[in-house]
Structure 1
Amino acid sequence: MTQPMTKKAYLAPTLSLFASTSTLLCCALPALLVTIGAGAVMAGLASNVPGYIWLTEHKVGLFLASGFMLALAAIMRWRSRNAPCPIDPDQAQACQRIRRVSGIMLYGSVVILLIGGFFAFFAADLLL
């Protein structure tokens, strides 16, 4: 018998989305701004956003933490894939909608992490 879905199963994809978005901020955003000729905007961001330079200096740890959170979210989603939804039709529909949204968030987070990883570790070698 499977366990009902817990709040952790709903929370993990959301946290992984925020973690993977931070990889975009540290790595893909600077590449985009410099590519479109907005280097001054990038300089302004770097000097005015607290912690931004710290994120870029610790990008390996950031990617490892984000990858770990994504893996944890994927494991939690896998374990709760057959969890029963409530019997009430409205609650069952909400349960199915939340499962679908959390799946979209999880897969979107993976895409965001891959894009950020490309710009952080490979784009400079390939494009310059």
Structure 2
Amino acid sequence: MRLFAREGLAPTVALFASTSTLLCCALPALLIAFGAGAVMAGLTANVPGLIWLTERKTALFLVSGALLVLAGYMRWRSRNAPCPIDPAQARACTRMRKIGGVILWIAVGAYLVGGFFAFFAADLLL
């Protein structure tokens, strides 16, 4: 558990934060673009948190961006940290570092897609 907290917790938290940017901004735009306005209306009626996130998208993106920067800094800071000598723990350490990196890059991708739809898509596509 301690290894996960050091190598995987920050990227995972950043992933959840950046996924919320997709929910607030990219999902509604995607549904409307595919002509699924009724689905979007049903979602907003049954998931009131979706509207709350959309109304506070600037704060959401600031917090998500800060979490991504923090996760990237923590990852950069521990890049040269030694893994344990025990072979099984060393394998777990390197595996968690790779998984943490993949999670962090997925989070950055989700953040960028959400940011595009939140702030630029309406101006570019309409």
Aligned-residue offset at 1:35? 0.8
CA RMSD of the aligned region, Å?
1.2
| Conserved? CA contact 1:9–1:73, under 8 Å | no
Shift of the 102–125 alpha-carbon distance from structure 1 to 2, 3 Å rule, reads same
Q: How high is the sequence identity, in percent, across the aligned residues?
A: 69
1:8-47 alpha-carbon deviations (Å, 9 max, x no partner): 4421000000000000000000011011111100011011
Which structure 2 residue ranges, 5 or more long, are not aligned? none
Which structure 1 residue ranges, 5 or more long, are not aligned? none
Question: One-letter code of the match for 1:123?
Answer: A
Return the match for 2:92 from 91, 94, 107. Answer: 94
TM-score by length of 2: 0.95
Please give the secondary structure, in 2, of the residue aligned with 1:81: coil
Question: One-letter code of the match for 2:81?
Answer: A
The answer to whether the aligner puts 1:53 opposite 2:38 as a matched pair is no
Return the match for 1:110 from 99, 108, 119. Answer: 108
Task: Choose between structure 1 and 2: higher helix proportion.
Answer: 2
Length, aligned pairs only:
124
| Conserved? CA contact 1:20–1:109, under 8 Å | yes
| Conserved? CA contact 1:21–1:109, under 8 Å | yes
Mapped partners of 2:85, 2:43: distance in 1: 50
Q: Which runs of 4+ in 1 moved over 4 A?
A: none
Mapped partners of 1:52, 1:36: distance in 2: 19
